[in-house]
Amino acid sequence: HAYLIMNKKEEYINAYAKEPNDEELMALTGLSEKEINEAMSSLQCVQSIFEQPKGMENDNLNLIDQLFDKTKDMGDVLNKMALKDAIKKLDDKERWIINERYFLDKTQNEIAESLKVSQAQVSRLEKNVIFRLKELMS
């Protein structure tokens, strides 16, 4: 597409002494605006990830320094999957405590009131559930 666009542009410039606008270019090539934009962007030079970004030559920062590290994100995804799987293996009461405490942000006192037990008992229950989750995830 890029080759077709460049040829049609050159023919148009030779005939009319000006560059065609987007609509004229679409009519000349039979391509959509999206196809033209994609083809023209494919002509841009590739830049090494070890080069400094344009306009930031004095910052001692390479493109690679700005790239997103997917490996760190993948670790988070795997941990979340393991946690989700471990939570499914808890009994109903344990799952309820985790849900109330960590997903609904309830305090131990609020959970104790719901269960009609002391806050200290909720603390022990929570500690045991977290220990069990760690075992299930390892």
Residues 104-132 pLDDT 10s: 999 999 999 999 999 999 999 999 999 99
| The predicted structure's pLDDT at residue 41 | 86
CA distance 96 to 108: 13
**SS3 assignment for 38-62:** HHHHCCCCCCCCCCCCCCCHHHCCC
Q: Per the structure block, which two tokens stand in for 70? A: 């997917």
CA distance 65 to 75: 20
| The predicted structure's pLDDT at residue 71 | 61
pTM of the model: 0.47
- Domain locations in the chain? 2-66, 89-137
Give pLDDT tens digits for 49-63.
777 766 666 667 777
The lowest-confidence range among 24-33, 50-59, 74-83 is 50-59
